[in-house]
Structure 1
Amino acid sequence: MSFIGTQQKCKACEKTVYPVELLSADGVPYHKSCFKCSHCKGTLKIMF
């Protein structure tokens, strides 16, 4: 049995984003740790 991973790439680092790491903003995939403020580089979190 072979594992077929996702083909989604993080917009920030261009590496594969697996479902457990996925944070999608406006349909664009990011790793949770790569979703940062472009000004201060602080990690951002989505609050519902």
Structure 2
Amino acid sequence: MGDIHEHCLNEWLLRSNNNDRCEICQEKYSKSGNILQPIWKWQKPQIEMT
């Protein structure tokens, strides 16, 4: 895949009418991984120093 904004790709996946095929080439794909939250919703991880 070429360069693409991750936000745009995630938005396309959310709005796509067909959940398992590309609407352009009809190639099957599977969704994997997490969709990133907007940066203003990020939280620091809880790390304990021992």
The TM-score normalised by the length of structure 2 is: 0.27
Q: Which has the higher strand share?
A: 1
TM-score normalised to the size of structure 1?
A: 0.28
Q: Where is the helix percentage greater, Structure 1 or Structure 2? A: 2
Larger radius of gyration: 2
